[in-house]
Structure formats: structure tokens, C-alpha cells
Amino acid sequence: MTVSYGGLWKLLKENGLRKQNLVDDVGISPVTVSKMGKGKLVTDKVIDRICEYLDCKPRDIIEIE
């Protein structure tokens, strides 16, 4: 099982945001953002918080192959 956060990185770029905004504005730890950058799974709670911040759905930011 492979996880891709390509949609998340695309949304961040489209909105003029960086990964650091997830740490500062959403309150996600840098370790969690690093895990996402490496394509590792994170909790659904993290995904929910990001979706609320970006006003999107989980399928918009994560793809499990």
C-alpha cells in the first residue's frame, strides 16, 4: 500500500501556502509533516484538521494506491 499526498502539496501551492503553515496554523507537528513528505500514513484526525483548514475533502489531499 502506497500513500500519496500529492493533492495536499498541490493545494498548498495553489493557495500560496507552505508545509510550515500546517505546523503553525493547523498545529500539526513537524514530525507528522515529515512523515507525510515521505509518503507514510498519518491519523485520520490529522487529515480532518488539514481538510478543515483547506476547506476540502480527504480525497482531495490523499490517495492510497
Q: What are the chain's domains?
A: 3-64 (1.10.260.40)
pTM more than 0.95: no
Distance CA 5, CA 50 (A): 12
Q: Express as a percent the part of the chain with pLDDT over 70.
A: 100
DSSP three-state, residue 3: strand
Measured in degrees and rounded to the nearest 5, phi and psi for residue 49 equal: -65, -40
Q: Which helix (H) or strand (E) holds 64?
A: strand 63-64
pLDDT in tens, 3-18: 999 999 999 999 999 9
Residue 2 has pLDDT above 90, yes or no: no
Q: What is the DSSP string of 17-59?
A: --HHHIIIII---HHHHHHHHTT----HHHHHHHHHHHT--HH
pLDDT in tens, 11-56: 999 999 999 999 999 999 999 999 999 999 999 999 999 999 999 9
